[in-house]
Amino acid sequence: MPKSNKQWAWRISFDVACLLIVGFSVLAFYLAGRPFERGFYCDNESIRYPYHHGTISSTVLYSVGFALNMVAMSIVEYFHCKHCHRQKTMEVCRLKVHPWFWAIYQMVGVFAFGAACSQLATDIGKYSIGRLRPHFIAVCRPDVLENGSCTDHTYITNFKCLGPDEKAIREARLSFPSGHASFSFYTMVYLALYLQARLTWRATKLLRPFLQFVCLMLCWYTALSRVSDYKHHPTDVLAGAVLGAIVAVLVAVFVSGMFKRRCAAADIAPVSRQNTVNNSEPLQPV
């Protein structure tokens, strides 16, 4: 537990630095990454599907994924701080801060770090493998198909895309693993685990499992839509879902500390009052 303003500053600085390093790595892939340019078989029917706009756009995906987690964490942590009878304010870098803000900083910060790690792992796979999307032929329009020189089971590597949209052609080489599947499974599995650990309201037995079911159905539908929209092969979606779920479990269990204590702000309570929160288990700082 940091005890001085200098310790608070160093702790926050290191946390932000780690998040920025991973975040800028993701941005570098998006702005300057070049996918591996693999060829294709002339008779490969799995990449000849028509191009469709996605049912769930990237804007909706990221907005809903972050919004649901932040809203849920804000509400649940507020009641946790209120229930735990924490001191009304605490001093962080000479600023009076309510424990709720520190709890949100920890929970949302860890969630965002995990999301960045999941996205970076997904991008490394995408740009390293360079698998062609199901609509690759429709977007690329290879010259060897236009002039009829590609026949039978010939594997073609020397071809030129005649399609006008270079961005769409680049994206058509980034099929494996599915980014929509990895992000949706990370955010929704993480939220389901968070509700399991933090939503302790006992007025009803079915509220928590109902909310968890909704979370899982959201990511399940997102993954299925990527196949029906001809954006990904089924194996792309499966790999993305497994990757996102694994990162969510690892971050939730080993990084967030949400399962280790009953009160989110336990690490900032005065030492003389910590044992009043949970007498059966000593509190551990994050």
CATH number, domain at 202?
1.20.144
Q: For residue 110, what pLDDT is reported?
A: 94
Q: What is the mean pLDDT of the chain?
A: 85
Assigned domain for 207 exists = yes
Whether residue 52 lies in the annotated active site:
no
Catalytic residue among 85, 135, 153, 232: 232
Q: What is the pLDDT of residue 8?
A: 73
Residue predicted with more confidence, 148 or 158: 158
Within-domain flag for 282: no
Q: Tell me which of 53, 80, 98, 180 is the catalytic residue.
A: 180
Torsion of CA 266, 267, 272, 275, to 10 degrees: 50
For 37-42, what is the mean pLDDT? 92
Q: Is residue 182 part of a domain?
A: yes
Least confident of 36-50, 96-110, 199-213, 235-249: 96-110
Tell me if residue 232 is catalytic. yes
pTM of the model: 0.85
Q: What is the domain range of residue 140?
A: 5-269
pLDDT at 190 over 60: yes
Does some domain include residue 284?
no
Kindly report the backbone phi and psi dihedral angles of residue 42, in degrees, each rounded to the nearest multiple of 5, phi listed first.
-60, -30
Q: Stretch 240-255: mean pLDDT, rounded?
A: 96
Name which residue leads in pLDDT, 33 or 95.
Answer: 33
Classify residue 275: in a domain, yes or no. no
- Name the pLDDT band for 114 (thresholds 50, 70, 90): very high
Question: Alpha helix locations (H) across the chain?
Answer: 5-32, 58-83, 99-129, 136-140, 143-146, 166-171, 179-198, 207-228, 234-250
Number of domains in the chain: 1
In the block, tokens 């360079």 appear at 130
Band (pLDDT 50/70/90 cuts) for residue 194 is very high
Q: Residue 106: its pLDDT value, please? A: 85
> Which pLDDT score, from 0 to 100, does residue 127 have?
96
How high is the pLDDT of residue 130? 95
Helix (H) or strand (E) holding 90: strand 90-92
Give domain status of residue 160, yes or no: yes
